[in-house]
Amino acid sequence: LGNEEREVLKYAALLHDIGKIGIRDHVLLKNGPFTDDERREMNTHPIKTKSILDKFRFPGRLQDVSAIAAHHHEKVNGKGYPDGLTGNEMHLGSKILAVADVFDALTTERPYKEAWPIEQAEDWIRSNSGTQFDPAVVAAFCATRDLARSVTKIEWSDRLSVGYPQMDEDHRQLIAIINRLSTAGALDNRQVIEF
């Protein structure tokens, strides 16, 4: 993707769930499985997102932010929501956001579930290539994950301690920054490197 397309995708990723402000709290914050009615309500959040984002007049290509965000729960086999789009009908940004959103959801602890190990989440995404996810996007995701895994990272251990708690905490934070920079450098992620 070019710089402009990446910028569009960045904003879509940041705003893709804004429609959840229109979901009742007892549904949004529920600690267990949804009833059919609750699932139907939750599945309206992409429509609510589109409704909110369509109120803004984004310049140029940024107009795509609304469409990308609205279709991040579509599946390439047409069995997603809200519009049942197939892979050919989906914006590339929606296909990318779909993989990123699911990876984040699987690897993040939620009140109703434990975080999955990264490898398990990657395997699940691979296993849904061609049905839920676009195969080319999954291949790019896997290549990126493989590249990130190939970066040697510094692991904090007691042998690195200097014996002063505040200094040790500063060193832990510095090591975390170095690790992020190493990964960002391998992935040529200019935004992380500049930050």
Q: Which residues are catalytic?
A: 20
Output b/e per residue, 164-180; b: 16+ Cβ within 10 A: eeeeeeebeeeeeeebe
Distance between CA atoms of residues 79 and 85, nearest Å: 8
Other CB atoms within 10 Å distance of the CB of residue 25? 7
Residue 71 three-state SS: coil
Element (H, E) at 141: helix 135-150
Distance between CA atoms of residues 161 and 114, nearest Å: 31
Question: CB–CB of 106/121 below 8 Å?
Answer: yes
Distance between CA atoms of residues 7 and 93, nearest Å: 11
